[in-house]
Amino acid sequence: MDIGIGLPTTISGVAGATVLEWARRADAARFSTLGTIDRVVYGNYDAVPALAAAAAVTSTIRLTTAILISPYRGNGALLAKQLASVDQLSGGRLVVGIAVGSRDDDYVATGSDFAGRGKAQDALLAEMRAVWAGESRGTAGAIGPAPVQPGGPPLLIGGLGAAAIRRTTTLGAGWISGGGGAAMFADAAGRVRAAWTAAGREGAPRMVALGYYALGPDAPDAARRYLGDYYAFAGPYAEMAAEAALTDPDAVRRAAGEFAEAGCDELILFPCSPDLDQLDRLADAALQ
């Protein structure tokens, strides 16, 4: 199983220089991917330009939106162009985890229809695929740049509902879990694999999961401070998220083993602190 690491871009107040140095070190440490988490109404960096910046200072590590909330981003043509640009800038290293999200404040802030987000997602994904296939949209022809990867960056569909699984089997290269432990991942992944087979798809879907970690002397406090703030909108879930964070090397190794046993292809762990020693501590715990 591959081990990826999240950029600290979802942590309020992190400096741009720290983000870039984090990306360089993750590339050198041989993590499998750099991940981003998406949100509008918070003090985080936007996922697309953050990965473009990471592309400029890395050479081999994959770049994964884990996940990108897309229905409030306007339209599929523009988003397809933005993502194809990152794919080109990175030399074909982009992976697009994508979902509809569950926070209505982001939709209100962008003037988007929260109730209609599922229908909007279907239209947006279809348009993205058409743009990446090179369909003409005007006198100049196709919307460019063309992505490096044929057909566009692979899509990992997020979500647990029937619509998300349908999107996985019709448009996705795989599925991405939005959090939770290995047992929850295993249950949902089983349903995705069964639907994949029933749809007549060849091979197997790529299965990706994410989690949170904090390591070092004040790890539990760091997890509680960050996740309590980030998930404040979710009430009691904030404390649950903090308690589920991996806060010592043994917990990291144990979780990695459980996810691998559940059939996970890649586990992306997001930091609760932007301190650069967090990256080094995770590398020591997970990549040895």
Task: Domain count for the chain, please give it.
Answer: 1
Read off the pLDDT band of 235 (50, 70, 90).
Answer: confident
Residue 85's CATH number = 3.20.20.30
Average pLDDT, integer, range 196-223: 97
Q: Is residue 152 part of a domain?
A: yes
Quickly list DSSP for 207-237: EEEEEEE--STTHHHHHHHHHHHHTGGGTTH
pLDDT tens digits, 263-280:
999 999 999 999 999 999
Q: Is residue 198 part of a domain?
A: yes
How many angstroms separate the CA atoms of 175 and 156, rounded? Answer: 5
Q: Is residue 252 part of a domain?
A: no
Average pLDDT, integer, range 38-49: 97
Q: Given a cut of 80, is residue 122 above it in pLDDT?
A: yes
* Mean of pLDDT over the chain: 96
Nearest alpha-carbon partner for 246 in 232, 234, 236, 258:
258
Q: Is residue 8 part of a domain?
A: yes
pLDDT tens digits, 125-159:
999 999 999 999 999 999 999 999 999 999 999 99
Q: Is residue 129 part of a domain?
A: yes
**pLDDT for res 277:** 97
Instruction: Give the rounded percent of residues in the chain with a pLDDT score beyond 90.
Output: 94
Q: Given a cut of 80, is residue 288 above it in pLDDT?
A: no
**pLDDT for res 119:** 97
Read off the pLDDT band of 234 (50, 70, 90).
Answer: confident
- Containing structural domain, residue 129: 2-206
Tell me the β-bridge partners of 209: 267
**pLDDT for res 200:** 97
Longest dimension (CA), the chain: 61
Read off the pLDDT band of 4 (50, 70, 90).
Answer: very high
Q: Is residue 112 part of a domain?
A: yes
Helix locations, the chain, DSSP H: 16-29, 47-56, 76-89, 104-109, 117-132, 162-171, 182-198, 219-230, 237-244, 249-261, 277-286
Nearest alpha-carbon partner for 149 in 203, 91, 200, 198:
91
Q: Is residue 159 part of a domain?
A: yes
DSSP element (H, E) containing 175: strand 174-176
How many angstroms separate the CA atoms of 51 and 23, rounded? Answer: 9
Q: Is residue 10 part of a domain?
A: yes
Tell me the β-bridge partners of 267: 3, 209
- Would you say 10 and 270 are in contact if contact means Cβ atoms under 8 Å apart? yes
How many angstroms separate the CA atoms of 264 and 157, rounded? Answer: 15
